[in-house]
Amino acid sequence: MKRTATTFRCLPRLGLDYTELRVVDLDVCENADEAEIHAALTRWFAHRGIADAVYDVAVDNDGPYAIINDEAYAESWGTPLV
């Protein structure tokens, strides 16, 4: 099973004023499905002490992305995209 570091876009669920698009690097299989990505992201946030951050994972033309509950944005994580 080949694992690769992949950058995932994290979008806020509702998009309140204090939220933004952020990216995180995650080590997953290159052919991971949405459930595997969801589990890996949940573990990634849990290791940072942020519970229930991942609302959903989906795929669009640019690849997989995560929808993050806005409450998680109270913590410092990921790299904001400006």
Cα 48 → chain centroid: 13
Structure confidence at residue 81 (pLDDT): 84
User: Dihedrals φ, ψ of 6, to 5°?
Assistant: -125, 140
User: Dihedrals φ, ψ of 42, to 5°?
Assistant: -60, -45
Token output for 48: 């940072």
Structure confidence at residue 53 (pLDDT): 96
CB count within 10 Å of CB 78 equals 23
In this prediction, the residues of the chain whose per-residue pLDDT falls under 50 are none
The pTM of the full predicted model, rounded to 2 decimals, is 0.85
